[in-house]
Structure formats: structure tokens, C-alpha cells
Chains A and B, each alone.
Chain A
Amino acid sequence: MWRAVMALIVKELLAVLKDPRSRLVLVVPPLVQLIVFGYAATFDLSRVPIAVYNQDGSAASRALVARFLGTHVFRQVALLESTRRITPLIDARKVGLVLAIDRHFTRDLLTHRPAPVQLIVDGRDSNTALIILGYANSIITDFSLHWLRTHGEPPVPALLHVRTRYNPQLASRWFIVPGIVALLTQVVTLLVVGLSVARERELGTFDQLLVTPFRQIEILLGKGIPGLLIGTIEASATILVAVLWFHVPLRGSLIALYLGILLFVASVIGIGLMISSIAVTQQQALLGAFLFMVPSIVLSGFATPISNMPPVIQALTWLNPMRHILVIVRGVFLEGSTAGAFVPEYAVMAALAGLSLLAAGWLFRWRIY
């Protein structure tokens, strides 16, 4: 049996590696996604254009403006003389924030009255607006504390001290890049495996295979093991890039990580083979793969937290292998976790892999044409 399976595996790997289009699938999507997600997709803001409307013009107000411009987050693109230009600037998306300092700013500060500072934010992109407000708030708080200290004032009664664990600078790259490990592995495995049976069906070689003495389990292994190899190698390459190029810390146990990846790849293979055996043509298989891929990414917690989803959808995410591997990848990368922490994830992915592979094996032979 193993020699026959071995022959299937060799054939499968040869078919993937000799076909220029398959080779492309192995290299291009990973590269594009690494560049897109590693560099372009970030929640961190930098060089947000702002307009300053400083009616005060004193040393104190200039110091506040300097604090804004001293970070890499904001840059001044306009200096306003009146309120007239505020609306056009924001409407044209020329600025993301207008910092307006009241005429009585210094006077109020010196007379121990609250000194109003107005922030006008473009709320059309709610996420960005919130992050801008967060930055601006902390700058103003820092300014206030500094003022109190240097002017011999009593400090504020309660002070917030924030310490972020696992990602002290809250660099979103640390959050996103480990996610790409899961994303890439899923895309490549699904494409390679998902198209393989459909391609053979289209060319007629699958019939040829079915009339030889191969058993379902052997065909399943012959299709699955090359996928497992390719998926794991793809994952390893992405992990290397994450650590060596993006300098994301890898703190936890590699065994825990790879156990997760193997189970994840196995369940993706099962789903890919199911799609592949239902599809009649490669186009259908490709469409099926994307129909699965898009919701599986949205429902994985890759970009938006699962805890924000409605309870029904949250329950549904349990069927999504990517949700579980993300927990493991992020856990191992950032928290330094070991295998013991992920028993539920392992169990669910193993069950998903088992069920989908069984279903795929059944579909191979019994699908009604």
C-alpha cells in the first residue's frame, strides 16, 4: 500500500512543481500578501496631516503645538487664521484633524481655569478618527501633567498608568504578521489541493485513477500528504520572514506552533478536497475556494475581533479552522505559550480535519455525476 501511495505523492508533487501555473500559486500570493499585510495594512498612524488654528500665540500654546508636531504621527499642513477654512479642509480630506486653541488659552492656564482646546476630527473613517483622538488625548494629557509639574501645581488626584503586555509599543505589525502565517498557509493549501482533483477530473485522469486498484484512503493520502508538505513548508517560510524580516518576536514553543499548523493544514486540505470533488471544472473549484476563503478570513479574528461579533456568528466561527490557528499562532508568537494552552484548539481542528477528510474521501467515488 505504501509504495502505491508513495507513487501518488511523487506524481502529485511532480504535477505541481512541473506546471508553471501551479508554481506561480506557490510563490506569487505569498509575496503579495506579505508585502500588502506586512507594510500596507497597519492600524498605526503616521504623518497624519493636521491644520492648526492657534488664536493664542503664546509660548504655552506653541509648546502644545510643538508636542503635536514633535511626534511622527502628525504633520502640519496648514496654519489657519480663521474658522472659515476648517470645513473645506476636512471635506477635501486635506487634513484629518484640526487643532484649535482658544484665544484665552494661556490666561486660563495661568488663572487655574480649564483651558479649552478644540479637536475637530474627520469622522467619516471612524476607526482612524478614534485612533487620532487617542493620540491627541495622550499628548494633551502629557502637556497638562508637564504644566502642573513645572508650575508647582499639585498633581491630579488619579493618574492612569498603562502598561501593555506582549506588545509594549502596540505595534500592529506584531498583531498582523503572525496572522499572515495562517492566512498564507490557508490560501496556498486551498488553491493547490482544491484545484488538484478538479483538474484531474477535467483532464480525465481522475477516471483513470479510479479504475486502478487504488482505494479511497490511498487516493486521499496521495492527495493529502503533498498538500500537507506544501502547506507546512509555506507556513515555515512565512514564519521565517516574520521573525527575520519583520522582527516579530517568536517567544513560545515551536512544537506547539507546528502541531497547530499540521492540524490546521489537514483541516484545510479536507475542505479543499471537498470543494474539489464537488466541482466539475477548475473554475468551479476556484470559485468554491474563494467562497470559502473570504468568510473564513472575516470570521477568523484576523482583522476584527471575534468578541465583537453577534453570538450566533461567534458560535459559527468554531467551524472555521483559521479561527483556531490564529489563537495558536498569536499565542506562540506573542505570549510565548506552550502546547498545553491550546488543547481545545487542537481538539477542534483535529475533529474538523477528520470530518472533512472523511467527507472528501466519500465524495471522490460516490459523487453523483
Chain B
Amino acid sequence: MSPESEPPPALRLEKVAHVFEAGGRTLTALEGVTARGERGAVTGVIGPDGAGKTTLMRLAAGLLRLQSGRLEVFGVDVARDPDGARAHLGYMPQRFGLYEDLTVRENLDLYARLQNVAPAEREARDRELLHMTGLAPFLDRLAGRLSGGMKQKLGLACTLVRVPRILLLDEPTVGVDPMSRRELWEIVDHLVRAEQLAVILSTAYLDEAERCQHVLLLHQGHLVGATDPARFTAAANGRSFHVSTPGLGKRQLQERIAGVPGVVDATIQGAFVRVVTEPGVQFSSTALPPLSGPLHIVPVPPRFEDSFVTVLKSIRASAGSQPVEHAHPDVPVRAAQTTVHTAARTTVSPGGDAVILAEQLTRRFGAFVAVDAVSFTVRRGEIFGLLGANGAGKSTTFRMLCGLLPASAGKLRVAGYDLRRAAASARGRIGYMAQKFSLYGDLSVVENLRFFASAYRLAEPRRRARIAWALEEFNLATRSQDVSRELPLGFKQRLGLACALMHEPDILFLDEPTSGVDPLARREFWRRINSLAESGVTVLVTTHFMEEAEYCDRLAILAQGRVLATGDAEHIKDRVRSAALPQPTMEDAFIALLQAAPQPSAA
């Protein structure tokens, strides 16, 4: 080896493009991406689902053939010498291939053998990995019996049995509980510091961008930014505020602020509306229509997301004409029309104000207790969130309430009924939108709408009117004849909501509704949900996004099948507020609650 004057970067991409072809359609996953990843640093690949994150990772790992451009790992051309490049690589895909019927130790042994690690080297490495991941006490546990967070840590340990020079992590933290997420990040930071590893980490969580040394922002296959996250965030300095006013609900206030010129972003954060203004625009109460009380405006430190939304909005503004992209300043107005329908409906819910009630709700699968004596109530017109990691029992609780799964014990009522036993007509009062797209993929948009209109037994003039409303309201008209399987994610999500709202339900069940969509689509979605709640619809939503929990009126935090806390977001955060932590995030609160909770006996 000859000494090099300037060592090549850990990862170098030059005009990398990738196109997928399926069923006669071409899908551009990456286009003209030029970027680098340095050694001794975490490079974050940030973007929503479909932005091209996984394609980039798989190209770098040599799992996809490079179509155009150039890709180098430590100066080795991946296209020309894939084995040489692979020798430097450790790659952990989104779903790491753990053998669930093998123990932790057996999984580690297996991967060490697959990677040809000499037994002599292994002992010290194993000790280090087990110490780092905290898996030492669980060596003999089956991998299938580990929690989601521990599985990810084991996956990481298996990737690291042979010391790589560059580590590719594809969404390692998605759906993982906040404590494990923090621990995973500590491991990554340690690897970068102690071993001078280059880490390329993709994520859809924008708060994780702030932990990277360098970020690549992907949007629809294009690199829209490659920057230092701290500097990127600082661009929103002096433009972020918490706004509140007495006498006006946070949702009404948010709705009014959202339409104001000069405001880039207005989202609900706990008791406040978080406002981000355009650069150079001073935010003041004069910009708003007259309010009943004074407006409290408190400057707050910016978040990565504030800048990201600013960038996305400017991309959208310049793309302009695309129907997919256009913002909906008129949504609240239309929603107000919906309100007329909703208000006209008579709500007969025995049991007074509690529209949804769970009392000591329990679900066992064999010896495993998925939901353990969960209790909460949701009042009419309230947005209630079930917040928790994958496997915390959110979806099981959700399915029991919808009547899809019998409860093992406890009491539950939805609009006064147990939907599992109630007459079929009782189900006509709820709307349901599942975690993943669960409409008929082979049917076109309008065929799906027609089907659900009939499923909810809408009679003729109303049926036609509602289908027209759905096409119009959710901007689906231009693609009404398209096969719904092939729609972009944002369209699918809107179609899902349109079908769930076809019959103007009193209660809306949403299971991880915004998982994977970009921040703007998430905002649009929540604007609709907010106006529905304002019109009296009760909403139950599950989420693993900490910030999304802030949009809810009240929430229950679930971990390992139990409720750790219920209440409104501010109330929950208050519990951990201290001099050292004056502005705790939902994640801080969640972790504090997890640490305070008694550990259940080993399951």
C-alpha cells in the first residue's frame, strides 16, 4: 500500500441515480445524488418514506447494482470491486435477519461464523459488544422473546462481530422505545469516538438529525441539502415561537395562524401553538384577525424540523404547479362545511361524556400479557393519543376497542357499545384507518370510494354526494381512475382517510396514521383531524412519534402493555420539569416514566 496524500472519504457518491421498473412503470428512487460520508462521524440520511434512503443504503452496501454515477467506499469503486468494498462494510437493514428461535448467544455465534471471524479474536470482541449493548444478562434468551429495542441492539451487535470501517444503519430506531433509542445512539456515538468508525444512518425522525455530525436531506430522490445540522437548525434562529391566547383553544388558534402570510409553519405543541415565520418576517398579533384576548408570544429555540419544513415549503413553492404538492389554505373552510353535517347529527352515547372507555382492559396471548389492565376514557370531541414503542400494546388495545380482537378481561365501551358484541349497525358510527394502507389495491380510487360508501349503506343522493365530496376534499379527482396500489404514499393516506370518513362517523380510530409520510403531509393530515375534532368527532390515534403526541388533547403512554401515565401533554411533561430541565420534551418525560416504572418480571 502506498501512502496517500489525502485519504479518500469513507463513502463518496457522485451523480448516483437509480430507477426501479415495475409493471411498466418507472420509479425514480434517486437522482443525481453527490455526497460524502466521513470517517469518525455520523452522517444522517434524512427523509420520509419513498425519499430514497433505503435505495441509497442498499447501493452503498452493494446489494443493488449501480445504474449510473460512481460510488466509492474508502476509495474502492463499489461497481468494479464489490467484494473489496464489502470488506470495509457493516450493514444493518431495516429488519435485521435475526433467527428468532436461536438465543442471543447463538445468533452472535452464527454471525461470527458467517463473517469468518477467528475464534481467538472473538472473545474480547464479544465481551465488548455485550457490554456496549447491555445484552450480557440475556445471552440465553431466544431472540424472538426480546423487546423491539433489544432486538435492534442484538442486530447491531451481530453486524459488529467483525470490525467494519464503515457502518450502514438503515432506520435502526424506527418504532423503538425512547430509552432504547437513546441507548442505540449512545452505542453509535461510542463507536464513532472510540473506533473512528464512519456511520451512515438513515432515519425518518427529524429530532435524530440533531445528533448527527452531518446530514443529507433527501426528498423524492433528490438531495435537497447536505449540511451541518446545528448550522441548519440555526437558520431558524429567532423565527420560532410558542403562541397562546386565553379564551381560544389551541386548535382554533392554530387554524387562524396557519393561514397568515409570512408564517411557514404552525403546529400544536402541548398547550401552545408552535409558529415558525419566514426569514425576515416579524410575528406579531397584528398579523392575525382580531382575537378576544392578548396573544402571548414566547420565542423558543429552533428545532431541526423548523428549518426542514422551511426548505420543503420553498421546494414546494418553486415546484408550484404539481397537484400533489399544493398546500390547502382552504381546508378549514371546507371542513367548516363538514361541521354542518356533523353538528346536525344526534349523538346518543349512553354513559355521558365518555365516548370511549377502557377499564382494566387486558389481553393475553398464551402466557404473554400484551395489554395489562389498561384504563382510560376519551371524551366527545377529544383527540386522544396512545403513545408507545412497537410492542407496547398500542395496536392490541386499538384492535380490542374496534372489536377486532376479544379482550381477555376488563370492560370496554365505544359509544356505549362493546363493538365485538353489538349489532352491526353500531359499527356504522366509527371510522377506521389502519396502520398500513389497507384498502383494495387492485381497485381504482373511485371503486374503493364506491365500495366503502356501499359498505356504510349510504343511500343514493347522499352516496353520490359523499363520493364527490371525498374526491374534491382530498384532491383525489385527478387520479380517481388510478389503481390505488400504485398511488404515492401521501395519496394512499388521504384515500384511506376519505374512506374512513365516508359516512361521517362520530368516532375515528387511527392506527399510526402518519407513519413514514413527510412533515408537510403530516401537517396537512393533522389539520384535517383538528377540524374534525372541532366539529365534535372523537378521535383515538396511536403513534410512536413523540412530537405527534403533542397534537393530542390527552394521551396515554404505554410501555410493555401498561399505562405509564395519562393526561395532557403539558401535564405529563410537568412531571419531569426541573431546574436542570426547564423545557423537557415528550421523550424526556417518556424516559423518566420508563425509569420510574417497576420492571415487570422477566417474561
Binding site for B on A (CB under 8 A): 3-4, 6-8, 10-11, 14-15, 18-19, 203-205, 207-215, 368-369
Contacts and interface: CB of A to CB of B under 8 A. Distances in A.
B436 interface: yes
6 contacts: A4-B454, A7-B455, A11-B440, A14-B440, A18-B483, A210-B403
**Chain A interface, >50% SS class:** helix
A18 B442 CA distance: 6
Contact of B440 (A205, A210, A215, A368): A205
B241 interface: no
B424 A208 contact: no
Interface stretch (B112-120, B443-451, B520-528, B535-543): B443-451
Nearest to A10: B451
Interface in B426-462: 426-428, 430, 432, 434-443, 447, 450-452, 454-457
B258 to A, nearest CB: 31
Given A11-B440, A205-B440, 20 more contacts: A3-B454, A6-B454, A8-B455, A15-B440, A18-B443, A18-B483, A203-B438, A203-B441, A204-B434, A204-B437, A205-B439, A207-B434, A210-B404, A211-B402, A211-B419, A211-B427, A212-B456, A213-B425, A213-B426, A213-B455
Interface string B489-520: 00000000001000000000100000000000
A16 to B, nearest CB: 9
Contacts of A369: 405
Contact of B424 (A6, A10, A19, A214): A214
Contacts of B427: 211-213
A369 B402 CA distance: 15
Nearest to A215: B424
A3 to B, nearest CB: 6
B403 A4 contact: no
A209 B404 CA distance: 10
Given A7-B455, A211-B427, A14 B436 contact: no
A70 to B, nearest CB: 60
Contacts of A210: 403-404
B442 A208 contact: no
Interface of B: 399, 402-406, 419, 424-428, 430, 432, 434-443, 447, 450-452, 454-457, 483, 499, 509
Contacts of B426: 213
B442 A19 contact: yes
Contacts of B406: 368
Nearest to B438: A204
Interface-central residue, A3, A207, A215, by most chain B CB under 10 Å: A207
Nearest to B443: A14
Nearest to A368: B406
Given A7-B450, A210-B403, A213-B457, A204 B432 contact: no
Nearest to A365: B420
A65 to B, nearest CB: 64
A234 B452 CA distance: 30
B424 A15 contact: no
A4 B457 contact: yes
Given A6-B454, A208-B434, A213 B443 contact: no
Nearest to B455: A212
A361 B143 CA distance: 37
A11 B436 CA distance: 20
Contacts of A208: 432, 434, 438-439, 499
Contacts of B450: 7
B539 to A, nearest CB: 15
Nearest to B460: A3
A6 to B, nearest CB: 7
